[in-house]
Every structure is written in C-alpha cells, then in structure tokens.
Amino acid sequence: MSLLNNILSSVYRVCVPGVLGQRNIGTATTPLYFKLTQVVGGEPLKKKKRLDPQIIRQREERKKRKIEKQIRRLEKNAGQLKPVDELEVPRAIIKEIDIRKKPVVTISGEEMDKRAALNKAWSAYKYQQHRAEVTMIDQAATARERALEELREESEELWLEAVQIDPTLIPFKAKGPVLTPPIPEYKSPDGEYINVTRIWE
C-alpha cells in the first residue's frame, strides 16, 4: 500500500481520462514551462535529390575528359631516357677538365708523313678485310637467289613453301666461343649473384 502511495506521489500528474478509452500517462515531475534550448547550428537534414542519371554520366565524362587531356599533355613531353653510365663523362673528370687539357704540340713534317702513311696502310688493310667479308656474303646471297629462281621455275608450290617464315628460327640465342677448353673435373666455388642495378621508382 505504501509502495503504491510512493509511486502515486511521484506520478502525481496523472491525467484524468477525458475520453473513454484514451489514457495519457506522463513521467514529467515538473510542469513543462517555456524553455530555451541550445542554439543548434545545423539545419535539419536535407532530402537527397534524385539526380538525373544523365547528369551523373555527364559529370563523370567531364572528369574523364579532363584526366585524359592531362594524360595527353604529359605524354606529349617525351619521357626522359634513363642515363647510360658508360656513355656519360664522369662528373669528377668534367671538373678536372682544365688540368686534363693537353698542350698543343707541333708535329714535324716527317712525323706527319709517317702518320699519313700509317693511316693509309691501315685503311687499305681494313678495306681489304671489308671487301673480303662483303664478297663472301654476296656470293652466298647470289647463290641463294639463283637457287630460289630455279626452284620457282621448277614448281611454284615448292617455292612458296621454301619462302615461308621459319617459326623455329626466331627467337634465336647464341653465345660467343670460349678462350680455353673446359677444365676437367672443375669444382666451381659456391657464390651468389646479386643484382645491384639502380631501380627507377
């Protein structure tokens, strides 16, 4: 009974049922006066407008075209070639260039004649070497052409077959000869090959 009284005293503002069947129960202990709430800066949430799918597509296409334009601009500036170390003069030597300059030496007439004669002899030797090579290649080429001509006269089908690309020829790999024959029962030492080339990005 006291329990009920306690509950009732805390819930004293119990509305009398006005209309039959309706019940209004509130748990407010103090009456609702006028109050000022905190200033809430945000607006109430906006309703998301349903964008026309065409507009979405247009916006995406515009973005894409912009990116493509930038790509085209970057591609126009020809890319930088990686520097080839063996073809560039080391910076240390460029700094020393003043020390490294040789004085101009006058060469006597006899020395110049000797040098000219040496140049001539060397070029004549190299020319003979070159002619020998070219003649060798050309002999093989003419023999090949003659053989193909004869084959064509003999049978067009066989010529067509002979002239086809050999798929087993390319890719082709070859290693140069070795200076010394292999050492019998050679035990090669254990070791490692570490690639230390500079990686660009």
Partner 1 sequence: MTLFTFGVLRRCVGAVKHCSLSTTALRSRVQFEPPYLDASGPEIPEYPQLNVQVKGYDFTVVEHYAKWVHNTALNMGIDVEDSWATPCEKYRIQTFKPKSTNVEADYHLQEYDRTVQLADLPSVVAPLFLEVIQAGLPTGVEISVHPHQPEHSQIRYIPDLELKTLQLQLHELGGPSKK
Which residue ranges make up the site for partner 1 (CB under 8 A)? 60-61, 63-65, 67-68, 70-71, 74-75, 79-87, 127, 130-131, 133-134, 137-138, 140-141, 144, 148, 162-166, 169-179, 189-198, 200-201
Q: Which of 130, 164, 159 is nearest to 147 (CA)?
A: 159
Write out the DSSP string of 141-161.
HHHHHHHHHHHHHH-HHHHHH
Residues 111-134: b if buried by 16+ CB within 10 A, e if exposed: eeeeeeeeeeeeeeeeeeeeeeee
- Minimum gap (Å) between residue 166 Cβ and partner 1: 7
Residue 115 vs 130, nearer CB to partner 1: 130
- Minimum gap (Å) between residue 104 Cβ and partner 1: 28
Residue 60 vs 154, nearer CB to partner 1: 60
What letter does residue 15 receive in the DSSP assignment?
Answer: P
- Minimum gap (Å) between residue 161 Cβ and partner 1: 11
Cα separation, 174 vs 53, whole angstroms:
61
- Minimum gap (Å) between residue 133 Cβ and partner 1: 8
Q: Residue 80, class by beta-carbon neighbours within 10 Å (0-12 exposed, 13-18 middle, 19+ buried)?
A: exposed
Residue 4 vs 199, nearer CB to partner 1: 199
Residue 18 vs 176, nearer CB to partner 1: 176
Given its phi and psi angles, is residue 156 left (phi above 0), alpha (psi -120 to 50 degrees) or beta?
alpha
- Minimum gap (Å) between residue 95 Cβ and partner 1: 23
Residue 3 vs 87, nearer CB to partner 1: 87
